[in-house]
């Protein structure tokens, strides 16, 4: 089963900079052959359920091996079985609606 996930892994007890841990996790996800999109507060992941969750576990293992005594992770995920949908499809759908004239087309904030 395909899954799209949003993953945020935060090592605790390693100081304020966590980019080297994020980089290590990104390498794990890429090595697993997963589609990923890094963003400011995490990574979107697309792939087969078992591969995605095995890679997330490996991210934790690698970050612990790097010296992080604790990790807190936020994970959101969704599956869809009625049709195939990619991360890009989801974003594209919203972008198309933003460009269309609709009831909120002239929305202004004061």
Our CA angle for 48, 81, 1, nearest 5°, is 20
- The pLDDT-based confidence of 107 (bands split at 50, 70, 90) is low
Number of Cβ atoms within 10 Å of the Cβ of 10: 17
pLDDT digits (tens, 9 = 90+) for 1-21: 999 999 999 999 999 999 999
CB-CB contact of 21 with 5 (8 Å): no
Give the alpha-carbon dihedral of 50, 51, 54, 56, to 10 degrees.
-120
- Answer yes or no: pTM beyond 0.85: yes
Largest CA distance in the chain: 53
Q: Hey, what domains does the chain have and what are their CATH numbers? A: 2-81 (3.30.70.930)
- Alpha carbon separation from 83 to 1, 2, 45, 80, 89 (Å, rounded): 12, 10, 18, 7, 11
Q: Which of 71, 34, 65 is nearest to 26 (CA)?
A: 34
CB-CB contact of 96 with 34 (8 Å): no
- The pLDDT-based confidence of 62 (bands split at 50, 70, 90) is very high
Q: Which residue has the tokens 């990923």?
A: 36
């Amino acid at each position: 089963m395909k899954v799209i996930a949003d993953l945020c892994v935060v090592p605790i007890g390693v100081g304020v900079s966590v980019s080297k841990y994020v980089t290590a996790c990104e390498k794990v996800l890429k090595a697993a052959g997963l589609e990923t999109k890094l963003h400011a507060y995490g990574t979107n992941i697309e792939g087969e359920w078992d591969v995605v969750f095995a890679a997330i576990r490996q991210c934790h293992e690698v970050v612990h091996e790097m010296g992080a005594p604790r990790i807190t992770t936020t994970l959101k995920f969704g599956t869809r079985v009625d049709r195939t949908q990619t991360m890009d499809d989801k974003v594209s759908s919203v972008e198309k609606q933003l460009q269309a004239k609709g009831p909120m087309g002239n929305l202004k904030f004061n």
